[in-house]
A = this chain, B = another copy of it.
Amino acid sequence: MRTDLCDRLGIDYPIVGFSPSEHVVAALSRAGGLGVLGCVRYNDADELDAVLTWLDEQTGGRPYGVDVVMPSHVPTEGAQADLDQLIPPGHRDFVERTLLRLGVPPLGVDESRRAGVLGWLHSVARSHVEVALNHPVRLIANALGSPPPDVIDQAHDHGLVVAALAGRADHARSHVAKGVDVVVAQGYEAGGHTGEIGSMVLIPEIVDAVGGEVPVLAAGGIGSGRQIAAALALGARGVWMGSVWLGTREYQSPPALREALLKAGSADTVRSRIYSGKPARLLRNRWTDAWAETEAPQPLPMPLQNLLVSDAHARLMESGDPTVVPMPVGQIVGRMNEVRPVADVLADLVAEGDETLTRMGKLS
């Protein structure tokens, strides 16, 4: 199951795995895939620097990547205190009332309150790029549109491959026109920020839109070797997988989250703006249901919505209640039925993928 992308990235299998966990990323790269670290949660650039230093050691020279979040339109900027003032009191009241109604306890006095995810801010994302360029990173991906031109230039000067996510063919064409090397075609099924076009339609559409020179990674609904083979049939040169790693041992998820992930079926997700202000697929539960009720307010734009709910996210996660955990995840969550090491998951993907390709060859 090799494609030309394997040579370009220096990996054994055309499987790129996104995770906010450096442990997952290290295990993926060691096992022959490409681990890509989600940087959005690092409000402090020094913290990211320390984690990348750890990754440099753990991957032993095998390639890995980073994923930053730079919105194509520069959003509201400012210090957290200034941004906080833009949040309407009615929204804060709704969050408090809802947490009370759901039986979610406040954080303990000794628990530090979360700062909110500032990685959505352009300035913070830029600091992530600067840190990453001082490490032997192989690929830099942007989750929201094309990176700014000077970031693409800098990355190319450092020999990095630049990837960008796209949920529509016109976005993919625009990425390529701006110098992006690899397009991640992410379908409706995907966890986190996602569009409305299903992977079956989107992947070949983007493959055709960008032409044969630009490799496309298929994302959204990929969690088995059959799905990898299907993505290759659709013209992708590899896959970009995120949700599946949440169910691995290395992800070290809290027990409530693990229980929720193992229980959920493919119908137990919802696409909503309540996590970040932009549509993102989340685990459906009592928290997302509360926001879907008629009396709930409309979510705020990015980055305000995440600042509004960041303390609530900490409380929901700390509560230990699997029916309220706030978690971006794709429809593939229905396949997560046991906790396994990353290397075992990857080996199964490759084995089933190869088996499927052989079966396909016999049908022709």
Are A201 and B234 touching (Cβ within 8 A)?
no
Are A360 and B233 touching (Cβ within 8 A)?
yes
For A, the interface residue count at a CB cutoff of 8 angstroms equals 50
Taking the closest CB of chain B, its distance from the CB of A216, in whole angstroms, is 12
- Compute how far the CA of A223 lies from the CA of B205 in the bound complex, rounded to whole angstroms: 11
Whether A363 is near chain B, meaning CB under 8 Å from some CB there, is yes
Are A232 and B363 touching (Cβ within 8 A)?
yes
Whether A202 is near chain B, meaning CB under 8 Å from some CB there, is yes
Interface string of A170-208 (1 = CB under 8 A from B): 000000000000000001110000011111111011000
Picked from B188, B226, B364, the residue with its CB within 8 Å of the CB of A361 is B364
Q: Please name all residues of chain B whose beta carbon is closer than 8 Å to the beta carbon of A332 when the two chains form the complex.
A: 201
Q: Please name all residues of chain B whose beta carbon is closer than 8 Å to the beta carbon of A364 when the two chains form the complex.
A: 1, 354, 357-358, 360-361
Q: Is the interface of A mostly helix, strand, loop or mixed?
A: helix
Whether A99 is near chain B, meaning CB under 8 Å from some CB there, is no
- Compute how far the CA of A266 lies from the CA of B234 in the bound complex, rounded to whole angstroms: 16
Are B361 and A205 touching (Cβ within 8 A)?
no
Q: Please name all residues of chain B whose beta carbon is closer than 8 Å to the beta carbon of A361 when the two chains form the complex.
A: 357-358, 360-362, 364
Are B266 and A197 touching (Cβ within 8 A)?
yes
Q: Please name all residues of chain B whose beta carbon is closer than 8 Å to the beta carbon of A335 when the two chains form the complex.
A: 205
Taking the closest CB of chain B, its distance from the CB of A171, in whole angstroms, is 10
Residue of B nearest to A1 (CB): B363
Interface string of A332-364 (1 = CB under 8 A from B): 101100000000000000000010111111111
Q: Please name all residues of chain B whose beta carbon is closer than 8 Å to the beta carbon of A205 when the two chains form the complex.
A: 266, 334-335
Residue of B nearest to A358 (CB): B364
- Compute how far the CA of A198 lies from the CA of B200 in the bound complex, rounded to whole angstroms: 8
| Residue in A331, A354, A358 with the greatest tally of chain B CB atoms within 10 Å | A331
- Compute how far the CA of A335 lies from the CA of B234 in the bound complex, rounded to whole angstroms: 14
Whether A51 is near chain B, meaning CB under 8 Å from some CB there, is no
Interface string of A220-234 (1 = CB under 8 A from B): 111110110111111
Whether A123 is near chain B, meaning CB under 8 Å from some CB there, is no
Known: A229-B233, A233-B229. A199 touches B200 (CB 8 A): yes
Whether A267 is near chain B, meaning CB under 8 Å from some CB there, is yes
Whether A235 is near chain B, meaning CB under 8 Å from some CB there, is yes
- Compute how far the CA of A267 lies from the CA of B169 in the bound complex, rounded to whole angstroms: 10
| Residue in A197, A330, A360 with the greatest tally of chain B CB atoms within 10 Å | A360
Q: Please name all residues of chain B whose beta carbon is closer than 8 Å to the beta carbon of A204 when the two chains form the complex.
A: 224, 226-227
Whether A2 is near chain B, meaning CB under 8 Å from some CB there, is yes
Picked from B168, B187, B224, B359, the residue with its CB within 8 Å of the CB of A198 is B187
Whether A252 is near chain B, meaning CB under 8 Å from some CB there, is no
Whether A76 is near chain B, meaning CB under 8 Å from some CB there, is no
Whether A3 is near chain B, meaning CB under 8 Å from some CB there, is yes
- Which residues of A are interface residues toward B (Cβ below 8 A)? 1-3, 168-169, 187-189, 195-202, 204-205, 220-224, 226-227, 229-235, 265-267, 330-332, 334-335, 354, 356-364
| Sample of 19 A–B contacts (CB below 8 Å) | A168-B266, A188-B188, A189-B200, A198-B220, A201-B221, A201-B266, A201-B332, A204-B226, A226-B234, A226-B235, A230-B233, A230-B234, A232-B360, A233-B233, A233-B359, A358-B364, A360-B360, A360-B364, A361-B364
The 3 A-B pairs with the shortest beta carbon distances in the complex, nearest first, are A361-B361, A200-B221, A357-B364
